[in-house]
Each structure stands twice: as C-alpha cells, then as structure tokens.
C-alpha cells in the first residue's frame, strides 16, 4: 500500500513536470516585441523632454512593448554636439524644428549592432509629432501581434 502511494505521488510529479516543460517550450516560441522610443529635439530641453516622454510612459502602461526614456538631440544639456548623427536624422526623417517634440520609434536600439557605422534606419517603424498617431499605431501594432501569435503575454489586464 505504501509503495502504491509513493508510486502515485511520483507519477503525479512526473506529469506536472512534463506539463510545465511543454508550457515553457510554447512560451519560448512566442516572439518578444520591443519598440524603442526616442524624443527628438534640436537642443535638449529637459522640460519639453519630460512632458513628451511622460506621454510615452503613459502609453507604455497599456502597451508594454514600448520602451520610452531615450532622447535624440543635436546638442545635449552639456553643450556636446552630435553633428554626424543629426545629419543622418535630417536625411532619413521628416523632422523639422517646428514639429518638436518629434517621436521616432525603432524595433531595436538604434546603435545596437556590433560595428554599425551609423544609426540603424532600417529598423525605424514610426516617426511623428502627434501623440494620437502614436496611440493609433500602438493599437494596430498590438492587433498585428495577436494575429501573428494569437496571444500576447505582456498585455495589461489579462
């Protein structure tokens, strides 16, 4: 009788271990999505940046794939200039001073790849100065994730 109880307990443990490993394998097949957001301005202004970035953080509460907090500027608060990167930005976007704060979204950090000579403009997924356009884009992007995977493990409220 004791051997039967021990055998039954071992069987239950084995079944639970197999089930949890299946779930882990299924979860690892789900693609992770990260969108890196940058607030663009010619001369860094902390107040403008904080206001613009706060809106992105609010969106990130609903859409956790957003990673806010980055700034892209020609001249930072220490008066260091980034002319080469700025020239690339002017060439590869529709940015203008009048559109500040301007938002750039990339599917990976802009200088992530080893030995990348410049910014990874091929990973740009959105550029705008309208926060409502950002909100609509996030909704559409999340819907595409659901279509592709039929689930989204980071969705808030599930």
pLDDT above 70 covers a percentage of the chain that reads: 82
Predicted confidence (pLDDT) at residue 5 exceeds the cutoff of 70: yes
Cα–Cα distance measured from residue 148 to residue 4, given in angstroms and rounded to the nearest whole number: 46
Q: Is the peptide bond before 101 cis (omega within 30 degrees of 0)?
A: yes
Interstrand relation of 35-43 and 66-75 (parallel, antiparallel or unpaired): parallel
Quick one: DSSP state of residue 6? H
Q: Calculate the CA 9 to chain-centre distance.
A: 44
pLDDT in tens, 56-99: 999 999 888 889 988 888 888 888 888 888 888 898 889 888 98
Mean pLDDT check: name the lowest of 6-20, 38-52, 121-135: 6-20
Predicted confidence (pLDDT) at residue 116 exceeds the cutoff of 90: no
Name the residue ranges covered by the structural domains of the chain.
35-149
pLDDT above 90 covers a percentage of the chain that reads: 24
Architecture of the domain spanning 35-149: 3-Layer(aba) Sandwich (3.40)
Alpha helices per DSSP H over the chain: 2-29, 46-62, 83-92, 131-149
Q: Which two tokens stand for residue 158?
A: 């599930």
Q: Give the H/E segment covering residue 89.
A: helix 83-92
């Amino acid at each position: 009788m004791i051997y039967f109880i021990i055998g039954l307990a071992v069987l239950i443990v084995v079944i639970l271990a197999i089930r949890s490993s299946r779930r882990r394998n299924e979860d690892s097949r789900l693609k992770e999505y990260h969108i890196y957001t940058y607030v663009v301005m010619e001369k860094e202004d902390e107040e403008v940046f904080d206001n613009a970035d706060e809106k992105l953080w609010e969106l990130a509460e609903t859409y956790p794939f957003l990673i806010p907090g980055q700034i892209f500027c020609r001249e930072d608060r220490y008066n260091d200039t980034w002319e080469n990167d700025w020239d690339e930005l002017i060439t590869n976007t529709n940015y203008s001073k009048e559109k500040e704060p301007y938002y750039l979204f990339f599917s990976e950090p802009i200088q992530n790849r080893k030995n990348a000579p410049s910014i990874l403009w091929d990973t740009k997924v959105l550029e705008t100065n309208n926060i409502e356009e950002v909100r609509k884009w996030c909704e559409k992007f999340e819907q595409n994730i659901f279509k592709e995977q039929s689930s989204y493990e980071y969705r808030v409220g599930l």
